[in-house]
Amino acid sequence: MSVSNIMTKRVVSVHMDDSLQSLRELFSATGFHHLIVVHNHKLQGIISDRDLMKAVSPFVDTVSERNLDRATLDKKAHQIMTRDVISLHPDASIYTAIELFNRHKISCIPIVDENKHAIGIVSWRDIMKFMQQRVESKR
């Protein structure tokens, strides 16, 4: 079975120069854990909610906040994104995705077409849901 069968087709993308403040708002509004960074509609990087938490001062929105803390929200997506993104084509097997998750410390894999346009995303949760369905179907 291919990753296109289990991928999430709704992909939220951001641009290289989007501020961390706007990324923070997107994470909050969508509930997603990963944002795809694009330039000219092509995959350039990926940002996780954990990447954002590491980049933003923990004092933002607290009584201890200073101007310096608030300034961390002015950083740009390209400053914190992972650039060497591991991606797959939609016809790649789920087994290949599992191998990549096990070999690399990643929590999602963007699915791209032949032009490097992000058309979906597979997370380890998608793999676990697929495995659960397989186990339940054999009961």
User: Is pLDDT at 66 greater than 80 in this prediction?
Assistant: no
Does 129 have pLDDT greater than 80?
yes
Superfamily of domain 3-137: CBS-domain (3.10.580.10)
Rg (CA), the chain: 17
pLDDT at 36: 97
pLDDT in tens, 26-57: 999 998 999 999 999 999 999 999 999 999 88
Q: Hey, where are the domains in the chain?
A: 3-137
Q: Tell me what the mean pLDDT of segment 79-106 comes to.
A: 96
Selected residue with higher pLDDT from 89 and 10 = 89
DSSP for 19-81, written as a single string:
BHHHHHHHHHHH--SEEEEEETTEEEEEEEHHHHHHHS-TTTTSTT--HHHHHGGGSBHHHHS
- pLDDT bin (cut points 50, 70, 90) of residue 71 is confident
